A = this chain, B = another copy of it.
Amino acid sequence: MRVERPNPGFARASQQAIGGVEGEIRVMMQHMFQAWGSRGPKKYRDMLLNTGTEEIGHIEMLSTAVALNLEGAPLSFQEQVSNDPVAGAALNGVNMRHILPAGLAATPENCNGVPFNASHVYASGNIAGDMYANVAAEATGRVLATRLYNMTDDPGMKDMLAFLIARDTMHQQQRLAVIEELGGYEKQLPIPNSFPQGEERRKFFYAFFVHDTAKEVPEGRRTQGQSLDGKGQFKPMSSEPLGEEPTLQKPRPDSGAQTDQMGMGSSIAAAATKLVGGGSMA
């Protein structure tokens, strides 16, 4: 790990790969919690723990990169004056959380300082659903990593990112390969495949809703031909209001609504006034 030209602006950007929703804390925790709740074949539990552990190392790499990019960052508005305006290291571009509470170190936050929120740990107890959640994480994560790669010209940072990008390449493949291993689309779709499809509303299975079926329907694999699970045919269907307009009961008298909503406006209001009693309340 090396940083040739520390750049606090790039430290700020790199935080997205640590604490952003596409970042490494998320994939680490997501793999771990999927593993700890794994009730399926044990081999997948092992795979998930394996990857989760690898991701801890990725967080460490990126956190170190952030700290190294903050070496020499301006600590006061005084220093800023003499800064090279081109280098982008001015205090305005610094994530002040890096200076003020963190003391020139990484934080578990995204590039805007929004702290990681563990609701992004998707773990459904369904192996296929979890694999797609992981593919999505690794795909958006690799997109992010390539954008960071393009953003910097520091050789040390490019080197680190080239490694992380390669790992995301592998992780995307591996998650999709689990779907193949389990029989591919035909056996795994729809997710969950343990729900008896006879209980679905059959008519809407493979319907592509359009506002007007008379108009030309877009051609393509996703609108025509056999469904991916081989059980039906894609077809357009006009989207129409289903069911009648809902009607809720009127508010109950003690439910804190206005009297007008109860359809008894004046009488209740009168009663309420009555309870207060006449005369001046002041």
8 A Cβ contacts from A81-121 to B? 81, 85-86, 88, 90-93, 95-97, 99-121
| Chain B residues within an 8 Å CB radius of A277 | 198
A102: B residues at CB distance < 8 A:
37, 123-125
Contact B258 A9 (CB under 8 A): no
A177 partner, pick from B36, B78, B221, B253, beta carbons under 8 A: B221
For the complex, is A4 an interface residue (Cβ under 8 Å from B)? Answer: no
Pick the residue among B43, B91, B126, B153 that contacts A139 (CB under 8 A).
Answer: B126
> Are B118 and A108 in contact, CB atoms less than 8 angstroms apart?
yes
| Docked CA distance A95–B93 (Å) | 10
Most buried by B among A41, A261, A268: A261
The smallest beta-carbon distance between A4 and chain B, in angstroms, is 13
Interface string of A30-66 (1 = CB under 8 A from B): 0011001111110100110010001011011101100
Bound complex: CA A259 to CA B242 (Å) = 32
The reply to whether A251 and B117 form a contact with Cβ atoms under 8 Å apart is no
Taking the complex as formed, is A214 at the interface, i.e. its CB lies under 8 A from any CB of chain B? Answer: no
- A85, closest chain B residue (CB): B85
Report if A36-B63 is in contact (Cβ < 8 Å); known contacts: A173-B206, A192-B142: yes
The listed residue (B192, B201, B233) touching A282 by CB distance below 8 A is B233
Alpha-carbon distance A185/B159, docked complex (angstroms): 27
Question: Chain B contacts of A258 at CB under 8 A?
Answer: 40, 126-128, 182, 188, 191-194
Best-surrounded residue of A71, A76, A119 (most CB of chain B within 10 A): A119
Partner of A146, one of B109, B173, B195, B205: B195
A205 cross-chain contacts in B, Cβ below 8 A: 166, 169-170, 281-282
Question: Nearest 4 CB-CB pairs, A to B?
Answer: A103-B125, A37-B105, A112-B113, A92-B93
